[in-house]
Structures are given as C-alpha cells and as structure tokens.
Amino acid sequence: MHKRRKGRGIGMMTLGLLLIAAALVLTGYNIWDERRAEEASQKMLEQMELPVDEARERYADWESGLEGSEVDIPNYVLNPYMDMPVTVIDGYEYIGVVSVPSLGLELPVMSEWSYPRLKVAPCRYRGSAYTHDLIIAGHNYRKHFSPLKTLEPGAKVVFTDVSGNQFFYVADSVEILKKTEVEQMEAGEWDLTLFTCTYGGQTRFTLRCLLEERE
C-alpha cells in the first residue's frame, strides 16, 4: 500500500512538472510570436511609401472649388465604388495604413484577410474607405489590435490609403460580438470598424468609428 501511494505521488509530481514545462513552452512561444509579428509589421511599414503630401495638395485644390479651374479631383470621389489600389510587398497586397495616435499604433493593412495573414499584419475584412464601410481585422498581439481595448470614446483613428489619401475617424462605441455573429459585425452605418478576438477566442472586441465630418 505504501509503495502504491509513493508511486502515485511520483506520478502526480511528474505530471505537474510536465504541465509546468508545457506552460513555459507556450509562454515562450507567445512571446516569440508577438515579437515576430511586431517586426513583420514594422518591416512592411518601412517599405511602404505613401504620398500623403501630394494627396493633401490634390484634396485641398479640390475642396477650394475654384470654378472654371482645372482641379485634380481624387479618383475615389469620382468613383467611390472603385477597387482600393494596392501595393505589393513580399508577395502580400496592402491597401494602406491604420494608425491610432493616442496608442502610438501604426500598422499596415492587407487587402484580403486570412488567419495566416493576420499573423503578419491587420487585414481588410470587408468594405472600403471610399464607401465608408471599411472593416479591418487584427490579431490581439500587444503591438497589433490588443491595445484597442483601452481606447476611450472620442479617440482619433486615421486610415491612409496607398495613394496617400487620408480618412480621419473618431472612436464612437464598442461591441463584444460572438465569433458566429458575422451579420452583426457588418451591420450598422459605421464608417470604420476595427475588431480583434479576445484572449479566450470566443468573442470579438469591436470598435466602431465615424468620420470626423459626421460629428
């Protein structure tokens, strides 16, 4: 009986050590994966050259509305249903950059989403900045979309397309949606939606934003 209890105790101790080792390995992997994702996004940002100043100049000329003058009207204004232009970096297509100044976040945005792509950078889930229904998905990495959970209503969010056109938004509200609530994710007249999974993976933290002009 004593030997049996001793053997059982050793078995439980071994199991405990194995569980601790597994937890350490998982923690180590998560740290490595976070760092890899941060470096991947930063690398893409460094390679993206967005002609913001030129786009601002074109937009200012168009907004001034001088009658009879030849003004270079932005293409997306003439045709908001046009495909968003892309730039290709390392085999991935990007539509622009999303930034949240108050969080110090600036991230490239891929044209199409998939789980492997989310491990590199946030991705367009649906919509377009031109039709005011852009939805962007991001992984819950510390340097990707996880910090959005701390954002206060009224915070500024900026999306810059690869042509240098900028769209300025204000964080309006937050929703927590189940991963099966696909229709709800796309519902509502929101100009911009950013979402990421929670740590349990069963729900989606969803940040709804409005264009500043609509305030």
pLDDT of residue 111 exceeding 90? yes
What is this structure's pTM? Answer: 0.76
| CA pair distance 175, 177, nearest whole angstrom | 6
- Check: CATH 2.40.260.10 for 2-49+84-214? yes
| pLDDT per residue as tens digits for the range 120-157 | 999 999 999 999 999 999 988 888 899 999 999 999 99
**194: confidence class by pLDDT, cuts 50, 70, 90:** very high
**61: confidence class by pLDDT, cuts 50, 70, 90:** low
CB atoms closer than 10 angstroms to residue 53? 9
pLDDT over 70 for what percent of the chain?
Answer: 67
- The C-alpha torsion from 154 through 159 and 160 to 161, rounded to 10°, is -150
**47: confidence class by pLDDT, cuts 50, 70, 90:** confident
| pLDDT per residue as tens digits for the range 163-184 | 989 999 999 999 999 888 888 9
Separation in Å, CA 3 to CA 6, 9, 10, 13, 14: 5, 10, 10, 15, 16
| Residue position matching structure tokens 């039709």 | 131
pLDDT of residue 25 exceeding 90? no
* Phi, psi for residue 115 in degrees, rounded to 5: -60, -40
Calculate ∠ Cα 8-10-14, nearest 5°: 115
pLDDT of residue 29 exceeding 80? no
| CA pair distance 11, 17, nearest whole angstrom | 10
Q: Are 151 and 40 in contact (CB under 8 A)?
A: no
Average pLDDT score over the chain: 80
Closest CA to 132 of 31, 209, 68, 75: 209
Separation in Å, CA 212 to CA 118, 169, 171, 205, 209: 28, 5, 10, 22, 9
Closest CA to 117 of 44, 205, 208: 44
